[in-house]
Structure 1
Amino acid sequence: MSNDVVSDRVLTIPNAISLARLLLVPVFAVLIATHHDGWAFLVLAVSSASDWLDGVLARRLNQVSRIGQLLDPAADRLFILVTLVGLAWRDIVPLWLLVVLVARDVVLGVMLLVLRRHGYPPLPVHLAGKAGTFALLYAFPLLLLSEWDSWVGTFAQVVGWAFALWGVGLYWFAGALYLEQARRLVRRAPQVA
């Protein structure tokens, strides 16, 4: 994204897609809590696919915007959190998966506060972070589909866990990259009194 011009535009197609994803979060939460798994799967699959779509459209239509750079990751994080809570609450995924992914976001949240204190904006997204988010957003619909009592459920469970484990690894690898980058910036920064 280094060659993209970042605008201050708010009304763009990619931003509308990100906003729609944010609005789908409570819809998904209600569907998963009320055991409407078919509809929950559909909402989750649409949200996962639209995560890829908004980034592609932003670059192709030259609609990369500051609000989009905040809205898209916010939608990702919120969808990941709500999905994990819902799947853990339903005992579809173990609690450790929720803890491991939330712990990474808490660590990076603290890092952002430290960066802000030293006058730095949020760090640009790494490819490893995008890949980890992609893997997780594709793991969750498959893990939900694994509840089906058929060969489809068995296949979805195997592929879903493969995506989930790769996602966790990439998510934390990206976290380590962000922490190292932040450490270097803070060491170079003049001391704030």
Structure 2
Amino acid sequence: MYYVDNQPLPPSKVEWFRRIWAGSRERRVSIPNIITLGRILLVPVIVWAIASNEMAVAFAVFVIAGVSDAIDGFLAKRFNMSSELGALLDPLADKALLVSIYVSLGIWGAIPRWLVILVVSRDIMIVGAVIISWLFGKPVPMKPLMVSKLNTVAQVGFAALVLGALGFGFEPAPYDLVLMILVTLLTLLSVSFYLVEWTRHMSTIEPGH
């Protein structure tokens, strides 16, 4: 029972307070979301490090970002802290970090620019497809395909290898070539699968909508 000035509140007021309390709990930013936001804030740091030729620092920040990604994922699943905000922020943070690293390394000349264009174009096409589906009132379910997960792993591995080689002065060959081929193939496959699924999803729109 809720009281104000030692007087019991009527049932309608009690229900109103309960709704306010439930809404405030839903709006709280969870620990995994805070960690994800911190990972987003690391993006300008790693861009600065690459632009300043501080590759060891860039590699260290990249490792920290990777560890934070694993931690927020563990907390969200283990302690039931998953949320819609987290489902949107987590892939956004991953993509912002990877795209920033690839663009920075491409400008620096550490990786081929055609690969940068391929990686960035893939993300732009997917984001564009999602926006179009929203505009038509047919939002695409945000479920990453297995090939997309493999593509992310390959992109992370290639970026880490390049940053590590530049930061600590070791020869990455032939592993860099292998990973670059994997990134290229998986990027092409993932965007093809996404576009096929998106086309199939959008074909269900009734004429006139």
Given the two structures, how large is their TM-score scaled by the length of structure 1? 0.84
Per-residue deviation, 1:172: 2.9
Per-residue deviation, 1:192: 4.2
1:94 partner amino acid? P
Question: Are 2:46 and 1:28 equivalent residues in the alignment?
Answer: yes
Structure 2 match to 1:128: 147
SS, match of residue 189 in structure 1: coil
2:157 partner amino acid? Y
Structure 1 match to 2:174: 158
Moved more, 14-23 or 53-62: 53-62
Equivalent of 1:138, from 133, 157, 162?
157
Task: Describe how 1:65-76 pairs up with structure 2 within 5 A.
Answer: 65-76=83-94
2:181 partner amino acid? L
CA–CA separation in structure 2 for the residues paired with 1:24 and 1:49: 13
Moved more, 158-167 or 176-185: 158-167
Per-residue deviation, 1:35: 1.0
Per-residue deviation, 1:134: 2.2
Q: CA RMSD in A?
A: 2.2
CA–CA separation in structure 1 for the residues paired with 2:133 and 2:96: 22
Per-residue deviation, 1:29: 0.9
SS, match of residue 147 in structure 1: helix
- Kept in 2, the 8 Å contact 1:136–1:168? The answer is no
- Kept in 2, the 8 Å contact 1:18–1:75? The answer is yes
CA 58–149 in structure 1, closer or farther in 2 if over 3 Å, else same: closer
Structure 1 match to 2:97: 79
SS, match of residue 174 in structure 2: helix
Aligned length: 184
CA 9–139 in structure 1, closer or farther in 2 if over 3 Å, else same: farther
CA–CA separation in structure 1 for the residues paired with 2:157 and 2:26: 30
Task: Describe how 1:104-115 pairs up with structure 2 within 5 A.
Answer: 104-115=122-133
CA–CA separation in structure 1 for the residues paired with 2:94 and 2:173: 22
Structure 2 match to 1:181: 197
5+ unaligned residues in a row in structure 2: which ranges?
Answer: 1-24
Given the two structures, how large is their TM-score scaled by the length of structure 2? 0.78
CA 148–34 in structure 1, closer or farther in 2 if over 3 Å, else same: closer
- Kept in 2, the 8 Å contact 1:138–1:163? The answer is yes
5+ unaligned residues in a row in structure 1: which ranges?
Answer: 1-6
Moved more, 100-109 or 120-129: 120-129
SS, match of residue 64 in structure 1: coil
CA 21–120 in structure 1, closer or farther in 2 if over 3 Å, else same: same
